[in-house]
Amino acid sequence: MSDGSDDHFARLDHVTEALEDLCVQAAGQSLEDAVRGIAEGAVATLPDADAATITALDDNGLPYLLATTDQRVVGIDEDQYKTHRGPCVEAATRRHPVRAVIGEHEEEWPEFTASAKAAGVNTYLSVPLLVPGGPADGDDEVVGGLDMYSFTARAFDPYDEQMMRLFVTAACDAFANARRWEATNRKIGQLETALTSRADIDQAKGVLMAIHGCTADEAFARLVEESQRTNTKLAVVARKLLDSLRR
């Protein structure tokens, strides 16, 4: 007779495989792709999991949906966002996993219970996503939560909860890396735009100097005057001048 250890080992294999896939896929991913991979990996990790969502927190600490593996469960979390109560909100705000068997918290979370029942969900598990803070930051940053759904009655036992704690540790690293990668790409784009704008302005100044026989300062003043008159960015004024000459 099995003492359950074989099942535990099997589930550990699932989470190990999911973590390996997550690490391989995380390199160079956009934030959107990374969170979708986290949600899909979480479903693959737990045998009783049927769907997953990623809840994120904005700069004001308000939750919003970042990713889902199944549109049928989206309304369950969105109702929690609107009412500011439910297991996914509690997991994020209290920084600990919350398991909910549908029907047991009807008085506490009536909107969540109604939405879950309507979708056919029987068990729900939400685990906070915590990004480690740096030496100067101190506490870990709560960036949202991983929300798991099962159509199976009384799924997600304490061992599953521990497995998801392990999973989100790696998931948070992937999430943080994707955020850094996206922020770096955004800064590179801003730099490229700035360099292009500077080049356009310098070319436009040269054109005005050639046409009007003026100095560089006078040419620049003409561009600034047109920018202010039309309430248009200086780089756009310069680009329009260059485009008109090309035509």
| Consecutive H or E run containing 142 | strand 141-150
The residue segments making up the domain with residue 133 are: 5-185
Residues 57 and 169 in one domain: yes
Mark whether 17 and 70 lie in a shared domain. yes
- Encode pLDDT of 176-230 as tens digits: 666 666 666 666 666 666 667 888 888 888 888 888 888 888 888 888 888 888 8
| pTM confidence score | 0.61
Structural domain total, the chain = 2
What are the structure tokens assigned to 203, written together?
Answer: 């070319």
Looking at residue 134, its pLDDT comes to 46
Q: How far apart are CA 94 and CA 108, in angstroms?
A: 16
More confidently predicted of 74 and 27: 74
- Both 171 and 75 in one domain: the answer is yes
Render pLDDT for 80-139 as a digit per residue (tens, 0 to 9): 999 999 998 888 888 888 999 999 999 999 999 999 999 999 999 999 887 655 444 545
Instruction: Report the CATH number at residue 139.
Output: 3.30.450.40
Q: Are residues 108 and 219 in the same domain?
A: no
Q: Note whether 25 and 118 are same-domain residues.
A: yes
> Considering 185, 201, 228, which residue would you say is the last residue of a domain?
185
User: Residues 43, 138: one domain?
Assistant: yes
